[in-house]
Amino acid sequence: MNPAPGFKKYPKHKVATQPSSAHVQVKYKGELIADTREAVEMHETHEGHVVAPLVYYLPRKDVRMDRLARTSHETQCPFKGTASYWSVKGGPENSVWSYERPYDELMPIRELVAFYPDKFEISAS
């Protein structure tokens, strides 16, 4: 058991995941980096107010991981766990992240990757 400490401290904070029905594509300067129909979407609210934009988490099998370089950067979230980061080779640093061992409540995003929307063109149709 590895429960998220954030939910006990902030009971009105909600992080919800669900399989996405969208076809998600991620491009960097026109180059297709990811293409999936198996994304998981995350919605994050606090007291009913959106605190983060919709984030798509994508399976690594649908991401061009060969275009990414792992970095030593990490961040900690009290709701999700420790995030690991990748940079695009020849592109933005620490712009892709993943929760490899998320807290129990966020296991649906385990080992999936997400992209910063201000660094990539993300389309969902």
What residue type is 12 in one-letter code?
K
Output the domain CATH number for residue 27: 2.170.150.40
Q: How many domains does the chain have?
A: 1
**pLDDT (tens digit, 9 = 90+) per residue, 56-89?**
999 999 999 999 999 999 999 999 999 999 999 9
Instruction: Tell me the Ramachandran region of residue 69: left when phi exceeds 0, alpha when psi lies from -120 to 50, beta otherwise.
Output: beta
Answer yes or no: is pLDDT of 48 > 90: no
Domain span holding position 17: 5-124
Residue 5 φ then ψ, to 5°: -70, -25
Note if the pTM is more than 0.85.
yes
